[in-house]
């Protein structure tokens, strides 16, 4: 075996710890170092290693090629057999590869005997995947290795391992400056990025998180709200009316945002998002919060009668005892313009409205792959929350805290409130 070079910043990989986490920017050598460390350890003792990522449609999506190259580079060809879908050591070590998003509670049990699980590109790993994987890696002395380039400041991986690391975790930040073999070609790219794209530089090269995804429609507004600490605890004020705003859906998500207005401020104090639930379910959820309710707000399609029931959402909610108001039907691009302006006065509860904030961070436009021109907003799991926010902004100046006069309805000849 040839003499093996290894960066000082990643020496902690050879020290015992349940969690070993390295994050940072491009060119830091994280993946290269993790691969070398795993192969060195697996060549010295029998190990079962899982190399995982969120999505792996084929072996080409994995670190199989990276490990194969490092086996040759380190002179370990006599110690490993590189097969089509796995790598085996002559000492009985085995390296397996899998995507996490395709796993279920039943089939992930096959990884219970793993000694080391290396999760690469971990910034894309969902909470669901982590919640499945972590308790599965349970063999005494087993370890979970995590390497990633940070993306959003509320991604589950960032929150789980950097903001709130588990007890005993070893977490290090590794950047290009920690890589003794940082190539001249990447140094040229880094300097060019610094001069021409300062907005992206800190994330790409310094490993700092972003407030919103690339191309996010509200990227600057979310960043400003974050800097000004307008995403924080926003307590419910019982002296102010709460105005539930709906974005209707069934197979798609239905959302309800809870807004309070005082002077020029628009406060987002709560949020519901679900699917395949009837309006009476949402009515119960709204009432269960025991807020000082104003009227609810429905978009224009809420006043169209459903061919199956013969009733509109507005008629149903009125029958359930709510005062219903109509959100004006304006073009999406105009509504986005209003929403951008409203951000300046907006405060978002960081816990109860966390899902809405996430949607605003990830709400983006289609981009033409040939012309790179942005198009219409993408309709995905995040667009429903963004639509809810846009609707609320369209009617924010109509949200009032004034008590409504009692409305009398005649029942059987008698007057009743």
- 250 and 162 belong to one structural domain: no
CATH number of domain containing 16: 3.40.50.300
Comparing C-alpha atoms, which of 260, 217, 212 is closest to residue 236?
260
SS3 32: helix
pLDDT band per the 50, 70, 90 thresholds, residue 404: low
- Rounded Cα gap, residues 257 and 387, in angstroms: 10
Structural domain includes residue 208: no
Structural domain includes residue 105: yes
- 24 and 132 belong to one structural domain: yes
Tokens of 80: 């490993």
Percent of the chain with pLDDT over 70: 95
Q: What is the pLDDT of residue 310?
A: 79
**Is a pLDDT exceeding 60 seen at residue 407?**
no
Report the domain count for the chain. 2
**Is a pLDDT exceeding 50 seen at residue 406?**
no
Structural domain includes residue 416: no
- 262 and 344 belong to one structural domain: yes
Average pLDDT over residues 91-115: 89
User: Distances in Å between the alpha carbon of 365 and those of 216, 255, 333?
Assistant: 7, 20, 11
- Rounded Cα gap, residues 116 and 48, in angstroms: 7
Strand 143-148 vs strand 19-23: parallel, antiparallel, or unpaired?
parallel
Q: What is the pLDDT of residue 413?
A: 37
**Is a pLDDT exceeding 60 seen at residue 405?**
no
User: DSSP H helical segments within 99-168, as ranges?
Assistant: 127-136, 156-158
Q: Which of left, alpha, beta for 320 (phi over 0: left; psi -120 to 50: alpha)?
A: alpha
**Cβ–Cβ < 8 Å for 37, 13:** yes
Structural domain includes residue 199: no
- 155 and 81 belong to one structural domain: yes
Average pLDDT over residues 102-106: 81
- Rounded Cα gap, residues 273 and 246, in angstroms: 10
- 31 and 144 belong to one structural domain: yes
**Is a pLDDT exceeding 80 seen at residue 55?**
yes
Structural domain includes residue 410: no
Q: What is the pLDDT of residue 197?
A: 87
- 311 and 392 belong to one structural domain: yes
Q: What is the pLDDT of residue 411?
A: 35
**Is a pLDDT exceeding 60 seen at residue 64?**
yes
Q: What is the pLDDT of residue 3?
A: 62
- 124 and 183 belong to one structural domain: yes
Structural domain includes residue 339: yes
Comparing C-alpha atoms, which of 219, 201, 150, 202 is closest to residue 386?
219
**Cβ–Cβ < 8 Å for 353, 269:** yes
Span 169-196, pLDDT tens digits: 999 999 999 999 999 999 999 999 999 9
- 188 and 254 belong to one structural domain: no
**Cβ–Cβ < 8 Å for 417, 406:** yes
Structural domain includes residue 405: no
Span 231-267, pLDDT tens digits: 999 999 999 999 999 999 887 889 999 999 999 999 9
Average pLDDT over residues 342-362: 95
Question: Which residue segment(s) compose the domain that 331 sits in?
Answer: 227-398
Structural domain includes residue 66: yes
Span 219-228, pLDDT tens digits: 899 989 999 9
Percent of the chain with pLDDT over 90: 75
**Is a pLDDT exceeding 50 seen at residue 416?**
no
Q: What is the CA radius of gyration of the chain?
A: 27
Only one residue has tokens 């110690």, namely 79
Average pLDDT over residues 5-15: 91
pLDDT band per the 50, 70, 90 thresholds, residue 414: very low
Q: What is the DSSP letter of 378?
A: P
**Is a pLDDT exceeding 90 seen at residue 376?**
no
Span 157-171, pLDDT tens digits: 999 999 999 998 999
**Is a pLDDT exceeding 80 seen at residue 350?**
yes
Average pLDDT over residues 6-17: 93
- 104 and 173 belong to one structural domain: yes
- 236 and 369 belong to one structural domain: yes
CATH number of domain containing 279: 3.30.420.280
- DSSP characters for 54-102? S--SSGGGSSHHHHHHHHHHTT-TTTEEE-SS-EEETTS-EEEEEESTT
- 288 and 351 belong to one structural domain: yes
- 251 and 297 belong to one structural domain: yes
> What are 146's strand-pairing partners?
21, 119
Map 168-220 to HEC letters. CCEEEECCHHHCCCCCHHHHHHHHHHHHHCHHHHHHHHHCCCECCCCCECCHH
């Amino acid at each position: 075996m040839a003499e093996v070079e290894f960066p000082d910043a990643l020496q902690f990989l050879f020290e015992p710890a349940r969690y070993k986490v390295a994050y940072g920017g491009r060119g830091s050598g994280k993946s290269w170092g993790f691969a070398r460390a795993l192969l060195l350890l697996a060549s010295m003792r029998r190990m079962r290693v899982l190399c995982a990522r969120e999505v792996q449609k084929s072996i080409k999506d994995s670190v199989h090629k990276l490990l194969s190259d490092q086996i040759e580079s380190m002179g370990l060809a006599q110690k490993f057999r590189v097969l089509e879908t796995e790598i085996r050591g002559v000492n009985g070590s085995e390296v397996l590869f899998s995507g996490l998003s395709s796993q279920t509670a039943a089939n992930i049990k096959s990884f219970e005997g793993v000694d080391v699980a290396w999760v690469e590109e971990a910034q894309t790993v969902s909470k669901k995947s982590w919640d499945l994987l972590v308790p599965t890696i349970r063999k005494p002395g087993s370890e979970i290795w995590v390497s990633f380039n940070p993306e959003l400041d509320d991604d589950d991986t960032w929150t789980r391992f950097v903001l709130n690391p588990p007890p005993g975790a070893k977490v290090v930040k590794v950047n290009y400056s920690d890589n003794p073999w940082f190539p001249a070609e990447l140094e040229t790219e880094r300097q060019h990025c610094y001069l021409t794209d300062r907005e992206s530089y800190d994330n790409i090269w310094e490993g700092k998180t972003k407030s919103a995804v690339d191309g996010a429609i509200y990227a600057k507004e979310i960043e400003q709200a974050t800097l000004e600490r307008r995403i924080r605890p926003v307590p419910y004020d019982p002296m102010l009316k709460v105005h539930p705003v709906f974005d209707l859906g069934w197979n798609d998500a239905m959302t309800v945002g809870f807004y309070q207005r005082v002077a020029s401020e628009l406060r987002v104090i709560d949020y519901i998002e679900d699917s395949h639930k009837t309006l009476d379910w949402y009515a119960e959820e709204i009432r269960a919060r025991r807020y000082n309710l104003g009227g609810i707000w429905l978009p224009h399609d809420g006043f169209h009668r459903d061919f199956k029931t013969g009733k509109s959402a507005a008629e149903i909610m009125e029958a359930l005892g709510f005062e219903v108001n109509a959100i004006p039907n304006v073009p999406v691009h105009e509504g986005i313009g209003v929403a951008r302006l409203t951000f300046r006065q907006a405060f978002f509860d960081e816990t109860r409205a966390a899902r809405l904030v996430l949607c605003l961070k990830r709400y983006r436009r289609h981009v033409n792959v040939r012309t790179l021109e942005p198009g219409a907003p993408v309709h995905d799991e995040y667009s429903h929350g963004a639509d809810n926010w846009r609707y609320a902004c369209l009617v924010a100046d109509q949200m009032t805290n004034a008590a409504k006069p009692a409305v009398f309805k005649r029942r059987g000849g008698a007057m009743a409130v």
